[in-house]
Amino acid sequence: MSFSTLKLSAPILTALADLGYEKPTAIQNKAIPHVLSGRDIIAAAQTGTGKTASFVLPLLEQLNSRYKKTNQKLRGKRIRALILVPTRELAVQVEANVVQYAQHLDISSMAMYGGVDAQAQKQRLIWGIDILVATPGRLLDMAHQRALYFDELDMLVLDEADRMLDMGFIDDINKIIERLPEQRQNLLFSATMSEDVRGLAKRTIHKPVELSIAGDQASKPKIQQWLVTVDKTNKSALLSHMIKELSWQQALVFIETKHGAAKLVSQLEKRGITAECIHSGRTQDIREKILSDFKSGNIKFLVATGIAARGLDIGELSLVVNYDLPAQVDDYIHRIGRTGRAGATGEAVSLVAKDNFRELCAIESRLGHIIERKEFSEFPVKKVVPVSVLNFVPKNVKAKNSQSKSTQTRSSKPRNSSPRSTSSRSNPGQNPRARSPWSAK
Q: Nearer Cβ to ligand AMP, position 324 or 347?
A: 347
Residue 48 as a binder of ligand AMP (CB under 6 A): the answer is yes
Query: Longest Cα pair distance anywhere in the chain, in angstroms?
Result: 71
Among 26, 29, 31, 50, binds ligand AMP (CB under 6 A): 50
Q: Nearer Cβ to ligand AMP, position 27 or 261?
A: 27
Among 119, 178, 247, 315, binds ligand AMP (CB under 6 A): 315
**DSSP annotation of 82:** E
Residue 190 as a binder of ligand AMP (CB under 6 A): the answer is no
Task: Return the range that interacts with ligand AMP (CB under 6 A); candidates 51-59, 135-143, 198-206, 256-264.
Answer: 51-59
Residues 6 or more apart whose CB falls under 8 angstroms from that of 28 comprise 6, 50, 53, 54, 57
- State the amino acid at position 408 in one-letter form: Q
Smallest gap from residue 320 Cβ to ligand AMP (A)? 14
Task: Return the range that interacts with ligand AMP (CB under 6 A); candidates 41-49, 76-84, 198-206, 272-280.
Answer: 41-49
Smallest gap from residue 5 Cβ to ligand AMP (A)? 13
**DSSP annotation of 382:** S
Question: Residue 437: left if φ>0, alpha if ψ -120 to 50, beta else—which one?
Answer: alpha
Among 30, 42, 49, 148, binds ligand AMP (CB under 6 A): 49
Residue 24 as a binder of ligand AMP (CB under 6 A): the answer is yes
Sheet holding 275-278, edge to edge: 275-278, 301-305, 251-255, 319-322, 345-352, 222-229, 372-375, 420-421
Smallest gap from residue 97 Cβ to ligand AMP (A)? 7
Residue 318 as a binder of ligand AMP (CB under 6 A): the answer is no
Q: 54 with 28: CB under 8 angstroms? A: yes
Q: Nearer Cβ to ligand AMP, position 53 or 129?
A: 53
Residue 192 as a binder of ligand AMP (CB under 6 A): the answer is no
Residue 17 as a binder of ligand AMP (CB under 6 A): the answer is no
Q: Nearer Cβ to ligand AMP, position 52 or 87?
A: 52
Cα separation, 185 vs 117, in Å, equals 31
Q: 86 with 167: CB under 8 angstroms? A: yes
Tally of CB atoms within 10 A around 216: 17
Q: What share of the chain is helix, strand, coil (3-state, %, to 5)?
A: 40, 15, 40
Task: Return the range that interacts with ligand AMP (CB under 6 A); candidates 43-51, 183-191, 255-263, 274-282.
Answer: 43-51
Smallest gap from residue 252 Cβ to ligand AMP (A)? 14
Q: Nearer Cβ to ligand AMP, position 159 or 364?
A: 159
Residue 101 as a binder of ligand AMP (CB under 6 A): the answer is no
3-state SS assignment for residue 19 = helix
Q: 170 with 115: CB under 8 angstroms? A: no
Residue 51 as a binder of ligand AMP (CB under 6 A): the answer is yes
- State the amino acid at position 274 in one-letter form: T
Residue 326 as a binder of ligand AMP (CB under 6 A): the answer is no
Q: Nearer Cβ to ligand AMP, position 52 or 135?
A: 52
Task: Return the range that interacts with ligand AMP (CB under 6 A); candidates 18-26, 141-149, 186-194, 237-245.
Answer: 18-26
Q: Nearer Cβ to ligand AMP, position 23 or 270?
A: 23
Task: Return the range that interacts with ligand AMP (CB under 6 A); candidates 49-57, 154-162, 259-267, 404-412.
Answer: 49-57
Q: Is the dihedral of CA 288, 294, 297, 298 positive or negative?
A: positive
Residues 6 or more apart whose CB falls under 8 angstroms from that of 246 comprise 416, 418, 419
Q: 190 with 197: CB under 8 angstroms? A: yes
Residue 159 as a binder of ligand AMP (CB under 6 A): the answer is no
Smallest gap from residue 302 Cβ to ligand AMP (A)? 17
* Helix-helix angle 88-101:284-296, to 10 degrees: 60
Three state DSSP letters for 28-39:
HHHHHHHHHCCC
Among 17, 126, 286, 342, binds ligand AMP (CB under 6 A): 342
Give the interface with ligand AMP as residue ranges (CB under 6 A): 21, 24-25, 28, 47-53, 313, 315, 341-342
